[in-house]
A and B are shown apart, each in its own frame.
Chain A
Amino acid sequence: MDALYRDYILDHYKNPRNFGELDPHDREWLDHNPLCGDELGVHLVVDEDGTISDLRFHGQGCAISQASASIASEELIGRKIDEIGELSADWLIDLLGIEISPTRRKCALLSLKVMRGAATGDASWPE
């Protein structure tokens, strides 16, 4: 069994959850992985009480970035929008459950970066 390309990672890559676009949506963000130019965007629907009631990622990328978006999406629906800015890089990497080498860190973190952008307008890389 591969330490990086685990079965569930490949499953999320091949069958991404919450993938596509949402129209109408309340918030959106689009960003790139500078290493390869891969693109990831997100659409959010936010309830009156600030709960993220629906979300879709879209774009293209490697198995790590796509699986990361898919796995994160399942955790993000139902959260309050103003909690998103607090989520750290470690939160997402723990969630993925695989060792991420420094060269692939941005692949893994792009989904959280895009999500934080949509929630807070902060375009920095998660620490």
Chain B
Amino acid sequence: MIEAVDSYYRHSNANVHRGVYGLAQEATDLFEGARERIAAFAGGETDTTIFTRNATEAINLVAYAWGRSAVGPDDAVLITHMEHHSNIVPWQILCQERGARLRYLSVTEDGRLSLDELDAALSDGRVKLVAVAHVSNVLGTINPVAEIVARARAAGAATLVDGSQAVPQMPVDVGAIDADFYVWTGHKALGPTGIGVLHGRRALLESMPPFLGGGDMIASVGFESSTWNDLPWKFEAGTSPIAEAVGLGAAIDYLSAIGMDAVRAHERELTAYALDRLEEVEGVRAFGPVDPDGRGGVVSLELAGIHPHDLAEICDREHVCIRAGHHCAQPLMREMGVPATARASFHVYNTHDDVDRLIAALQTAREVFAL
């Protein structure tokens, strides 16, 4: 990934879709080639795969360009208690602006969503959009998104799936899930920061107005008004994240070479091992589904008598980096009845040895706190 970005800047650096000189064509080919591979990697189509700055911007794009006309007073947007702030706040803003209601699905004791509750929430026909995480960044829960999308569609609601935590760690086929919008973010898929992806349904993308105006997104510009470029460029105003797309292309090539089935098997195995070993540490409570088949490679935990911040500090001294805090999911923390959690997350570079070190660091923390 780093070499691809480096090589782009050294040998192929030019703006895309502009110059007639060879270098500009080379940059355009690299950029559009990356889009083609990135789209295919996630099971999407090339011209409905839009580059954004991150998942957050992709969600905001939908909230503004689609939501402002599709959601009105007395309508509702349905999200869940396990969403990341990036899949909450844009909908709060939209609902406030449009006089619509924001509804939440709750999370069960073992960190899952209830399809019965979904059906009940959809039953009055007011829900215009269901927005849900594919995999929770706090609980690790893998949500049954294809089923959720099907039920939402049957009730006349559009769907957005936040796949930020799913695309990096398991095989994802956005075509099979068939949501109207599916978003993810490059930096979690071993890619660079500054690039996110939106896969959208063609008919919706075509009928939606642009999100941001400027260069590249137009077909022609008059004094009073302009006409819009074709998909996907209609939603890509201004100079694109070119190096970032090239870098993300290299990252997904790397993941594809390992094989997403193998990545998923590794994540599952390590998570199962971690959940198992955590039981050895007195006072530990792990959140989320107990069955490793139903969860991805993050484990949020609480250790009685030690605040997550202190836990993270002591783990850091033992060279184990875990995140402590609300994980951009304050509503979920409130539901779980904790101010914060500590969270270990795994990817392809982690091993059993890393889990063993985590367990040892947690034991050290108990000693420091004289527990």
Contacts and interface: CB of A to CB of B under 8 A. Distances in A.
Contacts of A63: 306-307, 310, 369
A60 B339 contact: yes
A91 interface: no
A37 interface: yes
B321 to A, nearest CB: 12
A98 to B, nearest CB: 12
Chain B interface: which size bin? 10 to 19
Nearest to A38: B339
A121 B370 CA distance: 39
A2 B313 CA distance: 12
A125 interface: no
Interface in A28-74: 35-39, 60-64, 66
Contacts, number: 48
B172 interface: no
Interface string B283-306: 000000000000000000000011
Nearest to B305: A14
A120 to B, nearest CB: 27
Contacts of B308: 36, 62
B215 interface: no
Contacts of A5: 310, 314, 368-369
B307 A37 contact: no
A35 B323 CA distance: 11
A14 B370 CA distance: 11
Contacts of A14: 305
Chain A interface: which size bin? 10 to 19
Given A37-B333, A62-B307, A2 B325 contact: no
Contacts of B305: 14
A79 interface: no
B368 A2 contact: yes
Nearest to A2: B368
A92 interface: no
Contact of A36 (B314, B340, B368, B369): B340
Contact of B324 (A10, A36, A39, A66): A36
Contact of A64 (B306, B310, B314, B330): B310
Contact of A107 (B309, B314, B333): B309
Given A5-B368, A10-B369, A63-B307, A37 B313 contact: no
B341 to A, nearest CB: 10
A105 interface: no
B199 interface: no
A4 B325 contact: no
Nearest to A36: B325
Interface string B327-371: 000100100000110000000000000000000000000001110
Given A2-B368, A5-B368, A36 B310 contact: no
A35 B339 contact: no
A10 B370 contact: yes
B261 to A, nearest CB: 37
Q: Which residue of B310, B326, B330, B370 has the most chain A CB atoms within 10 A of its CB atom? A: B310
12 contacts: A5-B314, A10-B370, A14-B305, A36-B324, A37-B330, A37-B339, A37-B340, A60-B307, A60-B339, A62-B310, A63-B369, A64-B309
Given A36-B326, A36-B340, 6 more contacts: A5-B310, A36-B308, A37-B326, A38-B309, A61-B309, A63-B310
Interface of B: 305-310, 313-314, 324-326, 330, 333, 339-340, 368-370
